Each structure stands twice: as C-alpha cells, then as structure tokens.
Amino acid sequence: MKYLKSIVFGLMFTLFTGFASAAPVDINTATADSLAVNIKGVGKKKAEAIIAYRQANGPFKTIEELTKVKGIGLKLVEKNRDNLLISPN
C-alpha cells in the first residue's frame, strides 16, 4: 500500500508541475499580472517595476536589459531565459 501511495503521489506531482509551468512571456508587451505569473522569482512589485522601466526607457532591446530594473539580477534572468521573449520593434 505504501508503494502504491508513492506511485500515485509521484504521478500527481509530475502532472501538476507539468501544468504549472510558466508560459513564454514577451517582456515588451506583457502586463504586470502576466509578468508576475510567468517569470519565476518576479512578483507583483517587480513586475510593476519592469512595466515602469519599459514606459520610461522604451522597449527592451535585449533580455539582459532586464537587469537594469531594480531587484532583477542576472541570476534571475538566466533562470528564466528560455521563458522570456522580446517582440520585434
């Protein structure tokens, strides 16, 4: 019975993490809510800071430019790199 519980738990965890993964997000067009949901390590405040930076400085030219936003470092960018998009200008 313990073995069966382990299998069921493992399957549920695998399914849940598969559905809970973040979707790619365009940092030049996304809303604060979308940024907060889809970028790991970014909550509402950091997402709003990304929007404020974008409004003040224009669209991001590179993903690395996100590091110019207060509270966002290269480690966070690297962790999310495969999930970040930049729309063509």
pLDDT in tens, 6-21: 555 555 544 444 445 5
Tokens of 55: 């409004």
User: For residues 11 and 33, what is the distance between their CA atoms, to the nearest angstrom?
Assistant: 30
- Report the topology of domain 23-85: DNA polymerase; domain 1 (1.10.150)
Residue 12: predicted pLDDT = 56
Tokens of 78: 């690297």
pTM of the model: 0.74
In 10 A of CB 77, how many CB atoms?
Answer: 19
pLDDT at 87 > cutoff 80: yes
Could you give the residue ranges of the DSSP H alpha helices within 1-89?
2-19, 32-38, 44-57, 74-80
The share of the chain scoring above pLDDT 70, in percent, equals: 74
Over residues 47-59, the mean pLDDT reads 97
